Amino acid sequence: MNPNVEVLPRAHGEPVLSAHMRTTPEDFFVEELSGFEPSGSGEHLLLTIEKRGMNTAFAAKRIAQWAGVGEVAIGYAGLKDRNAVTRQRFTVHLPKRVAPDLATLALEGEGEALRVVEHAWHAKKLPRGALAGNRFVLVLRDANGERDAVDARLRAIAERGVPNYFGEQRFGREGDNVKAALAMFGGRRVRRDQRTMLLSAARSEMFNRVLAARVRAGCWDRPLDGEVWMLDGSRSVFGPQPLDETLEQRLAAFDIHPTGPLWGRGELRSTGAAAACELGALGDEDALALRAGLEAEGLKQERRALRLRPADLAWSWRDDGALEIAFALPPGAYATVVLGELGDVRALGREG
């Protein structure tokens, strides 16, 4: 198994572009879209931090050291990569409402930088997932492809969306996390934090297999008999329910999406042709081992939308030949999956 997004089938046809991303951190800008306004009072200092060359865990550790608190006092909604410029929120629990000088938190170095963009008091610690999504501004360099074909592909993505694959970040190099999950299910002992990561990788591999099968069949954004639907912007599902005129209109408006399984205990919610497709994609020896392992861990059957449409997709060709693309995605979606529909877009240093 190799769940690298580059080998998954594309919904929009053959590649139209090859390019490099993350040539510099500034070429990959990510900004969290906030899911709430600060309360203005409370014991938690809510910081909006812009950072370069450091991941979220490293930034949280630095904030904890600056505040003189343990890392457990730091909250953040999501994880951001090191090789990027990222803007995200952190909370710091300060019961006495006394914070050190914000200027002393700033860092400016050759490879790393951190600055405070905004700050306010808030009533609660920031929990994981407390964001409305992420906005990306990406610069693709060494772009090789016919501009008219690239522009047409981007217009198709804006109109139709893309398959909502889990990105390659979830799986590690060459699918190592899935291999490790199989070993864990076979009896190998792992640390608790590793276990959570490997369970996510196993579930994501299963979902990607089902979605890939539906992309090959041309029904990733169209329903099968026995389809389960998900409301856009939520995890709420309903069905199985056959397509009728009302659902057809909602599907066209991106108000609802077909779904695939996040594997766990219990029966599949889908029925008919949808269930047959899902079980057919998950019937080989490795998939059966992953299914059994996830069930043994007690995870429950859940669903994920098969379709993803980037919001506010815009692009421009720069004078230096680079392609700049901007769009927003909901939580749990991957910018690399959007780029994968263009063709072979790789980070420098990851050629293999």
Q: Are residues 136 and 220 in the same domain?
A: yes
pLDDT at 2: 43
Residue 35: pLDDT band (50, 70, 90) is confident
286 and 239 part of one domain: yes
Last-in-domain residue among 81, 109, 129: 129
> Residue 169 — φ and ψ, nearest 5°?
-60, -30
Residue 7's domain is classified under what CATH number?
3.30.2340.10
Return the pLDDT at 348: 67
Q: What are phi and psi of 160, to 5 degrees?
A: -110, -20
Out of 77, 101, 129, pick the residue that ends a domain. Answer: 129
Residue 202 token pair:
């196993």
Q: With 60 as the cut, is the pLDDT of residue 300 above it?
A: yes
Inside any domain, residue 312? yes
Helix or strand run (H / E) with residue 178: helix 176-185
Report the domain count for the chain.
2
Mean pLDDT, rounded, for 33-57: 93
Q: Are residues 336 and 352 in the same domain?
A: yes
pLDDT category of residue 170 using cuts at 50, 70 and 90: confident
Three-state SS at 115: strand
What does the pLDDT look like over 65-86, one tens digit per residue?
999 999 999 999 988 988 999 9
Beta strands in 22-62 (DSSP E): 28-34, 44-52
Reading the block at residue 323, the tokens are 């392609």
Which token pair is 349?
């240093």
> Which is it for strands 323-329 and 311-317: parallel, antiparallel or unpaired?
antiparallel
Do both 116 and 184 map to the same domain?
A: no
Cα–Cα dist 129/235, whole Å: 13
d(CA 350, CA 128): 29
Same domain, 105 and 194: no
Average pLDDT, the chain: 93
pLDDT value at 3 more than 60: no
Same domain for 97 and 205?
no
Judge whether residue 59 has pLDDT over 90: yes
Give the end of a domain, one of 103, 129, 155. 129
Please give the pLDDT value at position 47: 97
What is the mean predicted confidence (pLDDT) over 333-352? 82
Weakest mean pLDDT among 175-184, 226-235, 299-308: 175-184
Sign of torsion over alpha carbons 168, 172, 175, 180: negative
**What domain range includes position 95?**
37-129
Is the pLDDT confidence value at 253 over 60?
yes
Neighbours of 193 (CB within 10 A): 8
Q: Write down the pTM of the prediction.
A: 0.90
Residues 208-230, buried b or exposed e (16+ Cβ, 10 A)?
A: bbbbbbbbeeebbbebbebbbbb
The residues with which 86 forms a beta bridge, in sequence order, are 30, 51
CATH assignment at residue 48: 3.30.2350.20
Does 26 fall in a domain? no
pLDDT in tens, 101-142: 999 999 998 889 999 999 999 999 999 988 999 999 999 999
Task: For residue range 134-169, list pLDDT tens digits in order.
Answer: 999 999 999 999 999 999 999 999 999 999 999 988
What is residue 131's three-state secondary structure?
A: strand
Distance of CA 171 to the CA centre of its chain: 12
Report which residue type is found at 290: L
Instruction: State the DSSP code for 246.
Output: H
pLDDT > 90: percent of the chain: 84
| Domain identity same for 221 and 308 | yes
| Residue 172 pLDDT level (bands cut at 50, 70, 90) | confident
Residues carrying an active site annotation = 81
Whether residues 78 and 193 share a domain: the answer is no
Is the pLDDT reported for residue 4 higher than 70? Answer: no
pLDDT at 46 over 70: yes
Question: If we measure between CA atoms, which residue out of 112, 109, 101, 121 comes closest to residue 47?
Answer: 121
State the pLDDT at residue 99.
Answer: 86
The verdict on residue 27 lying in a domain is no
